[in-house]
Amino acid sequence: MYKADQLVILDWATMSYHKDELSLRGFASLAQNIDVHLRTAAEDTVSNIGNADVVLCNKVLITREVLEACPNIKYIGVLATGFNNVDLEAAKERGIPVCNAGSYSTDAVTQLVFAYIFDHFQRVALYSMDVRLGKWESAPTFSYFPYPTGELRAKTIAVIGYGHIGRSVAKIASAFGMSVVVHTRTEPENCPFPVVSLEQALRSADVVTVHCPLTEETRGLICKRTLALMKESAILINTSRGGTVVEQDLADALNHNMLAAAYLDVLEHEPMDGETPLKYAKNCVITPHIGWTPLETRKRLLDITEDNLRGWLGGNPQHIVNGL
């Protein structure tokens, strides 16, 4: 197996927030030289790539123009599952394989989904705050419970999208005794849960959790029309892509009590646009795209990226997303 001549990482800061929490030692045996950029602005992409034959990136745009200006590129590794930042067709025309990291974040995102669900139905943080404020000390009875809580058993969860994460969420929800319904674009094989229309899923659900990719068909999937189908007591969870939700429509639904709550780890613009109507919407919990960020998860992502490159160098490429 030969080594790459020059490996460049364009946006390492998206992978590692704290110094030395992740190591690039595994790539030392795969490239003669490694060049690491914490961030790469669009106007610096070509110069930062230079003569590199291997490019690794997370969100930096690798456009047709970039590929034309960097003819030495032979391989592109995406430090993510999504690969919409790379012009796949232009890369394919040049014989450049584009490899992603597959389903590295399934467990972590599933965990976040249930953190949201527990937050809503158990109110742990809210009760803890009241205890700190002395409200239990002054309670007239031994138990202080002004905020309603609820059991998950017999609640209906609608899983929109049935890929790796959707299947994982459905499996765990079922273990909690929840009634699971699935809406997905293609009929899944051996699905143990009812596969229903989007309308049926939204009307029946106490929890709606979105796990579909962002495509022309799914952009704006959650909008005024579909939100109107949901129960007023239901909650919406989105850990997929921000563009699947029309933010103004969701804010309006929350502010007019058409929905009990929303939990979002993704937004249309990231970092968050301060003008998003969801910033101060009622009962809207927003986390800053952290579903994929547990340290173990990022280590797994790096391991998969390393294995992808090793496979390509050894003539056995894997996780290619542009048909080469």
For 180, list phi and psi in degrees, rounded to 5: -105, 130
- 241 catalytically annotated: yes
- 296 catalytically annotated: no
Q: Which helix (H) or strand (E) holds 115?
A: helix 106-122
Q: Cα separation of 184 and 158, whole Å?
A: 10
Q: Cα separation of 238 and 247, whole Å?
A: 12
Q: Which residues pair with 235 in a beta bridge?
A: 207, 261
Output Rg (C-alpha) for the chain, integer angstroms.
22
Catalytic residue among 167, 183, 241, 298: 241
Give the tokens for residue 74: 């032979």
- Characterise 40 by phi-psi region: left (phi > 0), alpha (psi -120 to 50), beta (else): beta
| 141 C-beta neighbours (distance < 10 Å), count | 6
Query: Among all chains, which residue has been given the structure tokens 């110069």?
Result: 47
DSSP characters for 117-154?
HHHHHH-HHHHHHHHHTTTTTT-SSS----S----STT
- 270 catalytically annotated: yes
Q: What is the 8-class DSSP label of residue 273? A: P
Catalytic residue among 21, 68, 151, 270: 270
CA distances 158 to 132, 195, 211, 253, Å, are 36, 10, 10, 19
Q: Cα separation of 116 and 288, whole Å?
A: 14
Q: Which positions are annotated as active-site residues? A: 241, 270, 289
